[in-house]
A = this chain, B = another copy of it.
Amino acid sequence: MDIEKYMQELGSRARTASRAMARASTAQKNQALAAIAEALRSDREQILAANREDMAAGQENGLEAAMLDRLELTPDRFEDMIEGLEQVMALPDPIGEITGLKYRPSGIQVGHMCVPLGVIGIVYESRPNVTIDAAALCLKSGNAAILRGGSEAIRANQAIAACIRTGLSRAGLPADAIQVVETTDRAAVGALITQPEYVDVIVPRGGKGLIERISRDARVPVIKHLDGNCHVYIDDQADLEKARQVTLNAKTHRYGTCNTAETLLVAEGIAEQVLPGLAGELAAAGVALRGCLRTLALLEGRIEQLTAATEQDWFEEYLAPVLAVRIVAGLDAAIEHINHYSSKHTEAIITENYSRARRFLTEVDSSSVMVNASTRFADGFEYGLGAEIGISTDKFHARGPVGLEGLTSRKWVVLGDGQVRG
């Protein structure tokens, strides 16, 4: 198989299909989503069987347990997948909305119309349910998509792809609007991300290594976040109970998510009051602490799982029950620390002081900034986007959780009555 040629064909078909998708009505797109759900239901047994084959092959190839867990399509996950489709059906269609139509002194009326980006390339790993999630979001936003899942999930992904084609055709939309790459050859990714003539944007979902490679090699824009080194800063005018609850939730609610806190900053004025108890609770929850020198001095002998933090710890996304702890002079030092070490994902301040809250929101340069709330809220569903295609820590185009709107653009609409420029 000539991968380059194969991917060009996919790209060319996607580009053609994207024109029909841009014109598709809301009713037609929702009809396609419903028909895909129906096809998934009737192909349920084949899809689960294909997934079992993927699992068996994965075990044979020595895939690690975490990977196998993500790969597995349990009956519950299968139902969630269909529910996800129905949620996307219920979302308002962003396409075609015209905003801000205003008259100009020349007499023309100028506004914006929301339009699809065109063709979205999505590169992801293991989880077969991403195939449906991504397809649904691209479809609803009037885009065409080329989906490239992990080689370990190829059988289930192909079975799901057949349902997507069926659903699109039943709604009178081009089956090529959502294509799932059929080869497991890695060269397909390289080809997909270097076809600006066919692909408008790449959304990589997966480990940091994958995303770094794609960002480096892509010849089209990439919507991405590399990691989530999130911070909680407890100000010396914090409410102690809020500080306690938010910190525990931000660190211990889930360890493997990108919006989990990885560093705790505490103002020196409140450290003695808040840190010993909080560190005890974190330790009791199984969290190991990496402290700055002052933290070590304060907690010495009181907390067992406490070691000295190195410079590298401040940069680290542990994705594990580990938390770096630093005592800082106050707000300025906290902001400076965050803007230097953070991955610009999500940061929270705990304070009752109005002016400090306002300064933290303005001066911290991250995609989400919070006052008295857990970093774990940084999520498309929690923010009310209805769904999330990914999170961006870049500032260009979309920033933070990216929903349907991030897959759209706005063109200018001008309505006139024969006006000419003088």
Which residues does A use to contact B, with CB under 8 Å? 19, 22-23, 96, 102, 104, 106, 108, 110, 113, 115, 117-118, 200-201, 221, 239, 241-242, 245-246, 248-250, 253, 339, 348, 361-363, 365-374, 376-378, 382-384, 395-397, 399-401, 409-421
Contacts and interface: CB of A to CB of B under 8 A. Distances in A.
Nearest to A103: B384
A355 to B, nearest CB: 14
A109 to B, nearest CB: 9
B396 A401 contact: no
A221 B398 CA distance: 13
Interface centre among A242, A366, A368, A396 (most CB of B within 10 A): A396
A415 B200 contact: no
A339 B19 contact: yes
A208 B354 CA distance: 51
A339 B19 CA distance: 10
Given A362-B23, A421-B374, A421-B376, A368 B416 contact: no
Given A22-B363, A108-B377, A399-B410, 13 more contacts: A19-B365, A104-B383, A106-B377, A200-B396, A241-B418, A242-B417, A249-B421, A365-B411, A368-B414, A369-B413, A378-B414, A396-B397, A397-B397
Contact of A362 (B96, B378, B414, B418): B96
A409 B382 contact: no
Contact of A242 (B367, B400, B418): B418
A249 B410 CA distance: 26
Contact of A418 (B245, B363, B420): B245
Contacts of A19: 339, 365
A418 B108 contact: no
Contact of A400 (B200, B370, B411): B411
B414 A409 contact: no
A411 B371 contact: no
Contact of A376 (B102, B117, B420): B420
Contacts of A383: 104, 110, 412
Contacts of A417: 242, 372-373
A250 B420 CA distance: 8
Contact of A369 (B104, B397, B400, B412): B412
B108 A396 contact: no
Given A221-B396, A374-B420, A412 B367 contact: yes
Nearest to A397: B397
A372 B421 contact: no
Contact of A22 (B118, B365, B371, B377): B365
Nearest to A241: B418
A149 B154 CA distance: 52
A395 B249 contact: no
21 contacts: A104-B382, A108-B370, A108-B382, A115-B395, A239-B418, A241-B418, A245-B420, A246-B416, A250-B420, A367-B412, A368-B411, A368-B413, A370-B415, A370-B416, A371-B416, A373-B417, A373-B418, A374-B421, A377-B419, A382-B421, A396-B396
A241 B118 CA distance: 36
A118 B395 contact: yes
Contacts of A414: 348, 368-371, 373, 377-378
Contact of A373 (B108, B118, B370): B108
